[in-house]
Amino acid sequence: MSYEQTEDRKATTARRLEQVRHLVRSVGVEMDGDVRVPFFVEPAPGKFRQNPVLKTMAIEDYRLCTLTVASDTPAKIPAGGLPLEALRYLIEIGLKGTEDL
């Protein structure tokens, strides 16, 4: 394997990882009064914690929404937002707190 192929693979992996982070940052919760807040806060790059505002609340599925979040390497998000199953999976990924994010 050449040096160039290795660098391309690393760049692709880094880009995909940033896209996953963008998706996790895009998970939101619609509060009363149509106010949307992020489900996660990111105290350090790739380290996600549940938003303290939401810790004491029971989050029901109908309140989950997709936020518009800026990113250097944005993921493709459908115009109507992410499907509920995707939002739930992203919450699972964010709460797991893997080293890969």
Calculate mean pLDDT across residues 56-61: 91
Flag whether pLDDT at 1 surpasses 60. no
Flag whether pLDDT at 65 surpasses 70. yes
Segment 13-38, tens digit of pLDDT: 889 999 999 999 999 999 989 899 99
CB-facing half-sphere around the CA of 11: CA atoms within 13 A: 6
pTM: 0.85
- 95 CB-near residues (< 8 Å, 6+ apart): 48, 50
Q: What are phi and psi of 6, to 5 degrees?
A: -65, -45
- Comparing 8 with 38, the larger pLDDT belongs to 38
Q: What are phi and psi of 44, to 5 degrees?
A: -140, 150
pLDDT, residue 46, reads 84
pLDDT, residue 3, reads 63
